[in-house]
Structure 1
Amino acid sequence: MAGRLRAPTGRYGGKSAEERKAERRSRFLDAALQLFGDTPGYRGTTVAALSEAAGLSTRQFYEEFRTLEDVLAALHLQVNAWAEQAVLAGAADVGDAPIDERAAAIFRAYAANVTADPRRVRITFVEIIGVSPRLEEQRLARRSRWVDLICAEARAAAARGEAAQRDYRLAAAAFIGSVNGLLHDWSAGWVDATLDQVVEELVRQLLAILRPVGWQET
């Protein structure tokens, strides 16, 4: 179409168009973490307010996102990705340690990452709820990844003779619900315990699932 503006492709200020685009997107997500994860929350934020907080224009917002829901979706995935990276690093640090040590490392890494910033807790457990069918599907899909991780750890422990041989998917789904609920309540100040005590309780619960009454290590 004649006269249509084309996105710049050259370097400006020492940065390529792709680098500038990534920087703008990062600034919008940082601003969203503040506004969605604190005050006024996702439902109280406007495109204009988010753009102002990011130090960018609404025109630049629409160059990166279609709606505020798109921003929340991207932020939810980012917060979960940070937590997953922390968990994988924690698991790698203990290598082939027994399941009780691996579980402690995994939950300590997850809990420390998510609760280090209360805004991450709110994005993960509060703001994402009830927004739309699309985000509910994303939330459940991301939750399924955590269930898969628990199942993988359980299968590996069973193969080493450290846990019972069984299908753990149902138990893992129920357990992840407990993890999310406990960490949310702890972060909100509803649970009188240290974070270490929270982690210890989660480890005890998981080991009780893996090692039911009457089971003996082989």
Structure 2
Amino acid sequence: MTGRIKAPTGRYGGKSAEERQAERRRRFLDAALRLFGGGPGYRGTTVAALSEAAGLSTRQFYEEFRALEDVLAALHLEVNAWAEEATLTAVAGARHLPLAERATAIFRAYAANVTADPRRIRITFVEIIGVSPRLEEQRLARRARWVELVCAEVASAVARGEAAPRDYRIAVTAFIGSVNGLLHDWSAGWVDATLDEVVDELVRILLGILQPRDARLAGA
């Protein structure tokens, strides 16, 4: 298949062509979350199986996507966008808090979102791995975006005198790997702890990286 089939135009059933297309795309993505994230996984799913799960035809699939990889790519970005939105909302609401409380509020919001549905964790940390060079590039680019977000918060802590000034990029990159790995293992049942305990441990790791000038800045 060299390109997508052109979608019809005009109104049908009270919906525009754009509305119908958006609805079809949503149904394919919802079905992909069920199959890629909870069922046979991306590698065990076919276009026919995904179309059937969405209640649509394979012809309609190719009106929206070129291949299953495009669905996984879109779903991976969407799951990350949901988590980023929750995180940025927490960042905005925690600006007045001291460092330890601020970090806890932010990571609690992120962890709550990404673990709310175990299928999201599987999409983000499992199914996306090793699919293709294109998706590996997307995965690393998305991780880099998270690194930038945390680095921005670290810079804010430095500006407030809550952290020692230095280049934190390598440390933050390592920290993001710890976040991803620990949340995946917790979701898989390999870590015997509550989610709050996991978040508290991640916050302690981050505070240790920041090396506050005064231990009181990190809180009790």
Short-chain TM bin: over 0.9
Deviations 1:148-167 (A, max 9, x none): 01100000100010111011
Structure 2: which 5+ residue stretches go unaligned?
none
CA distance in structure 2 between the partners assigned to 1:99 and 1:14 by the alignment: 52
Equivalent runs, 1:168-207 vs 2, <5 Å: 168-207=168-207
Q: Aligned pair count?
A: 212
TM-score (normalizing by structure 2)? 0.93
TM-score (normalizing by structure 1)? 0.94
CA distance in structure 1 between the partners assigned to 2:117 and 2:6 by the alignment: 39
Question: What's 1:14 paired with?
Answer: 14
- More moved, 185-194 vs 100-109: 100-109
Where 2:192 maps in the other structure, the secondary structure is coil
CA distance in structure 1 between the partners assigned to 2:81 and 2:26 by the alignment: 15
Question: What's 2:160 paired with?
Answer: 160
Deviations 1:9-64 (A, max 9, x none): 22211211111111100100000000000110000000000000000000000000
How has the CA–CA distance of structure 1 residues 177 and 53 changed in structure 2, closer, same or farther, with 3 Å as cutoff? same
Equivalent runs, 1:65-214 vs 2, <5 Å: 65-211=65-211
CA distance in structure 1 between the partners assigned to 2:165 and 2:143 by the alignment: 23
- More moved, 89-98 vs 142-151: 89-98
Question: What's 2:57 paired with?
Answer: 57
TM-superposed CA distance for 1:89, in Å, is 1.1
**RMSD across aligned C-alpha pairs, in angstroms?**
1.4
How has the CA–CA distance of structure 1 residues 125 and 6 changed in structure 2, closer, same or farther, with 3 Å as cutoff? closer
Where 1:78 maps in the other structure, the secondary structure is helix
CA distance in structure 1 between the partners assigned to 2:203 and 2:36 by the alignment: 31
How has the CA–CA distance of structure 1 residues 6 and 147 changed in structure 2, closer, same or farther, with 3 Å as cutoff? closer
Question: What's 2:214 paired with?
Answer: 216
TM-superposed CA distance for 1:181, in Å, is 0.3
CA distance in structure 2 between the partners assigned to 1:21 and 1:132 by the alignment: 27
Contact 2:151–2:172 (CA under 8 A) maintained in structure 1? yes
Structure 1: which 5+ residue stretches go unaligned?
none
Poorly superposed stretches of 4+, deviation over 6 Å: none
CA distance in structure 1 between the partners assigned to 2:8 and 2:57 by the alignment: 17
Where 2:167 maps in the other structure, the secondary structure is coil
TM-superposed CA distance for 1:6, in Å, is 6.1
How has the CA–CA distance of structure 1 residues 17 and 191 changed in structure 2, closer, same or farther, with 3 Å as cutoff? same
Write the letter of the residue equivalent to 1:95: R
Where 2:120 maps in the other structure, the secondary structure is helix
CA distance in structure 2 between the partners assigned to 1:6 and 1:167 by the alignment: 50
Question: What's 2:41 paired with?
Answer: 41
CA distance in structure 2 between the partners assigned to 1:91 and 1:155 by the alignment: 13
Deviations 1:95-133 (A, max 9, x none): 332221221111101111111101001000000000000
TM-superposed CA distance for 1:7, in Å, is 3.7
